[in-house]
Amino acid sequence: MTNQTPDQIDAIDDAESAPWGLRSGTKRMLRSWRTAGIAIPFLILFVVLSVTSQPFLHTTNLINILDQQAATLCIAAAGTLVLVAGGIDLSVGATYGLATVVAGEIAAHHSPILAIIAGVGVGLGVGLVNGLIVTIFKINSLITTLAMSFVIGGLALQVSGGNLLVLSANSGFFKFANAQFLTVPSAVWMTCLLIVVLGLLLARTTFGRYMVASGGNAEAARLAGVRVNRIRVITFTLSGGAAGLGGVIDISRLLSAQAASGGSALSFTVLAGIVVGGTSIAGGEGSVWRTVIGVLFIALIGNGFILLSIDPLYQQIVLGVILLLAVGLDAWARQRRR
């Protein structure tokens, strides 16, 4: 990269915005509104569930929510970086599935440490391939990762033979995600650590500013000396690695896994959490901590439906409406920036 500073990149973005009448005050207002847009509904839902369901506030229930969402939070946190940098990764569900069966097969016959390394390594490899295809062959990231999800899903079925993989509870692999510290499972602690690292990477480092610049205006970023392709390859690699880690965490938690071609359900949940959290689908805007709130907001909806014995059919309807509203908000914000 050149000696161009992040402040100079911001100056370029501001200069491009000026002809359209966008002022820094308006930008700050939109960002503040976007931030409050997920925090307020989350707090409202939390209060409503606290009042309407007595078991909701029990420590066991809250820890269970975090434990169950550990893999999703890992994947969504890294996926935020991809969207901010101007890409999208729809292969995370399939990558997660491949990592679970690879780690499970190795854990059943070899060292748990080797299984963990293999699972995360598979994810990193898939992410690297995604990034190289997108940047070298200039194929749209949505198409690339969607196609890769079917390829990876097929590989997972080949590895597992389409069978349910079950591990022994006596295996040391079980402790990876289930060891207790202050009554909280290690899966939750690992997730929190990853979220903090990725959050700081995006919000507090020069590399994070380069991600925002790459997603906001790739051509302006290139003129400022940012190696946009390298930035995007790294974000895809991190996303794949997080999907691999999520797969390892879940098979360690549950001691069972079964490959599912495509992994579309998990990919949808991850993308929904990121978008509901306020990350722009068009790139250049996003926050890891808002993604965390978005994922937990969706998790609270599911938990509330269970505790209140509401037909799960309505949960899908509610999630669909929320996602439409989130995308609509993003489109409105981008229109205002013009």
Which CATH number fits the domain that encloses residue 274? 1.10.3470
One-letter amino acid of 322: I
Q: Is residue 63 part of a domain?
A: yes
Q: How far is CA 179 from the centre of its chain?
A: 24
pLDDT value of position 323: 81
Q: Is residue 60 part of a domain?
A: yes
Could you tell me which residues come within 8 angstroms of residue 122 by beta carbon, excluding any fewer than 6 positions away? 95, 98, 99, 102, 244
- Among candidates 88, 73, 138, 127, which has minimal Cα distance to 283? 88
Number of domains in the chain: 1
Q: Is residue 1 part of a domain?
A: no
For the record, the structure tokens of 304 come out as: 């509330």
Low-confidence ranges of the chain (pLDDT < 70): 1-37, 170-171, 260-263, 330, 333-338
pLDDT value of position 338: 59
pLDDT value of position 328: 77
What is the per-residue pLDDT across 61-105, written as a single tens digit (0 to 9) for each?
999 999 999 999 999 999 999 999 999 999 999 999 999 999 999
pLDDT value of position 154: 92
pLDDT value of position 41: 87
Q: Residue 337 burial by CB count (10 A; 0-12/13-18/19+): exposed, middle or buried?
A: middle
Could you tell me which residues come within 8 angstroms of residue 276 by beta carbon, excluding any fewer than 6 positions away? 38, 294, 297, 298, 322, 323, 326
Residue range(s) defining the domain that contains residue 325: 6-337
What is the per-residue pLDDT across 109-154, written as a single tens digit (0 to 9) for each?
888 999 999 999 999 999 999 999 999 999 999 999 999 999 999 9
